[in-house]
Amino acid sequence: MKHLKITAVLKEEKLLQEICVNGWVRSFRNNRFIALNDGSTLNNLQCVIEDNTIDTEISNRIHTGASLTIKGVLKESEGRGQRVELIATTIDIEGDANPEEVKTTILSPKKHSLELLREQAHLRIRTNTFGAIMRVRSKLSFAVHQYFQERDFFYVHTPIITSSDAEGAGETFKVTHLNLDDLPVGEDGATDYKKDFFGKETNLTVSGQLEGETYAMGLGNIYTFGPTFRAENSNTSRHLAEFWMIEPEMAFCNLDQNMDVAEEFIKYVIKYVLDNCGDDLAFLEKRLLDEEKQKPLEQRSEMPLREKLKFILNNNFKRVSYSEAIEILKDSKPNKKKKFKFPVNEWGVDLQSEHERYLVEKHFKCPVILFNYPAKIKAFYMRLNEDGNTVRAMDILFPGIGEIVGGSQREERLDVLKEKMDELGVSQEELYWYLDTRRYGSCTHSGFGLGFERLVLFVTGMTNVRDVIPYPRTPMNAEF
Ligand code: 4AD
Ligand code: MG
């Protein structure tokens, strides 16, 4: 007997055969119709109990949430709403679910708020919404690898525990094996990290870029795709303390080529989910429409989800220099009417998410790549332009999201890089290995980092990153 996943059953051409399925009960109607879901697809399999075929001792234990093994015969469905259904011949209860207890959880079949689902993150994967999001997330991950692997990029596993702070923002989580209640103190009165596990101070990585660059200097084109940790105390719908980042790094590649790859890459993975996650995207699109019905018109999305994704595929990202962007912002209505929380009045200011969203959503109405930022507001490793003021940085801004990608051409000139490190207080001694890449066969090279959750957010039409990662880590929250 064929043991099938429900996604396969629903596509099965050969009827009247006996098959076996497993899954969880979503609903049980009229003591007759079981809607069974095994997670392989959004769609449930309708399993039918015909009169007197299953012991009442068993059928009395069929409730929402219970897990079953059902053997039966696949038939064309008489009812509307499905092509096939399974006429049960035997049903085994794998695990009961007490209906009184189920009622107190989000497994109970009614609409629950996303906030409540977050509190029960260990159960929310049994809902249609989270099943859809997590299947899309998985397909997107696969597409990330497929894009790079098809183009001869090598996947590199950069360390999770490091002794460097690649972004220099000081937002790292410390890693220590010392007894925090009894710290060893050195002669200078400070904690003596020589006595710690690694013999020095260590932290969780904020970016695999620096190690990635050293590997690009041997393998040519590489990418990383791993967890990243930032102790930013920003309680927003776009920040996580633990998120996944994709960081390609390319030798012999300049900023323009870097932008080309980033744009092509994003379009590729979006096309992949459009082609491979039709049911889930259709469901998420409808979910968003329903959710937005309660919002005032001007706060609703301009396009349905799948149309929005196709719009990305069919339009070039608008490439704009930081200086041009500042002029646009200075002249903008919200700036003149003092509607921005951070007014834009001079060249050199850092752009806030309100500015990014204005550029993308109101001014250009398409994804924007901003480039050539002031050196002062960017990291030490970015290539200084000939003007001496700007660096070859680029950020990609998306509607509804803001920054989705941050990248740059890297400073390949040893002397300029050293000077910059001294200026910003980045230790040359600590990063001697990074400087070595500029000593032995340095070359023009570039890369970028894409925040995976922000991409999943965009593709699924969700609005909070906490809802697109299984167990979100945010300030004051590390449950599960
Ligand atoms: O702009 P960021 O800080 O760039 C880097 O880390 C570079 N080392 C990348 C590179 O050039 N290889 O971060 C890159 C992206 C952001 O654009 C954003 O999408 C995401 O990572 N990101 C976050 N996502 C969720 N939560 C956070 N706290 C994030 N911080 C950054
Ligand atoms: Mg950034």
120-140 average pLDDT score: 98
Q: Residue 168: pLDDT band by 50, 70, 90 thresholds? A: confident
135-139 average pLDDT score: 98
457-473 average pLDDT score: 98
Which residue owns the Cα nearest ligand 1 atom 6? Answer: 207
pLDDT for the residue numbered 1: 86
Q: Which residues of 103-126 are buried (b: 16+ CB within 10 A; e: fewer)?
A: eebbbeeeebeeeebbeebeebeb
pLDDT exceeding 90 applies to what percent of the chain?
94
Distance (Å, whole) CA 118 – CA 129? 12
Range scoring the smallest mean pLDDT among 128-132, 425-429, 443-447, 467-471:
425-429
Q: Is the CB of 410 under 6 A from ligand 1?
A: no
Pocket test for ligand 1, best of 164, 237, 245 (most atoms within 8 A of CB): 245
Which residue owns the Cα nearest ligand 1 atom 4? Answer: 406
104: left (phi over 0), alpha (psi -120 to 50) or beta: alpha
- Coil/strand/helix, residue 458: helix
| Spatial CA neighbour of 361 closest among 399, 329, 404 | 399
The answer to whether residue 165 scores a pLDDT higher than 90 is no
435-445 average pLDDT score: 98
Atom of ligand 1 nearest to the CA of 396: 17
Which residue owns the Cα nearest ligand 1 atom 2? Answer: 406
Task: Judge whether 330 and 358 are in contact, CB under 8 Å.
Answer: no
Atom of ligand 1 nearest to the CA of 403: 17
Q: What is the CATH code for 128-171+206-467? A: 3.30.930.10
Task: Judge whether 191 and 221 are in contact, CB under 8 Å.
Answer: no
Closest ligand to the CA of 377: 2
Q: Spell out the domain ranges in the chain.
A: 6-108, 128-171+206-467
CA distances from 35 to 58, 277, 431 (A): 16, 21, 58
| Spatial CA neighbour of 276 closest among 454, 140, 82 | 140
133-147 average pLDDT score: 98
The answer to whether residue 464 scores a pLDDT higher than 80 is yes
Fold of 6-108: OB fold (Dihydrolipoamide Acetyltransferase, E2P) (2.40.50)
Distance (Å, whole) CA 2 – CA 474? 44
pLDDT for the residue numbered 169: 77
Q: Is the CB of 23 under 6 A from ligand 1?
A: no
Q: Is the CB of 255 under 6 A from ligand 1?
A: no
Q: What mean pLDDT value characterizes the chain?
A: 96
Q: Which helix (H) or strand (E) holds 282?
A: helix 278-292
pLDDT for the residue numbered 299: 87
pLDDT for the residue numbered 399: 94
Closest ligand to the CA of 448: 1
Distance (Å, whole) CA 176 – CA 172? 12
Rg of the chain in Å (alpha carbons): 27
- Residue 371: Cβ within 10 Å count: 24
Using alpha carbons only, what angle is made at residue 259 by residues 256 and 263, rounded to the nearest 5 degrees? 145
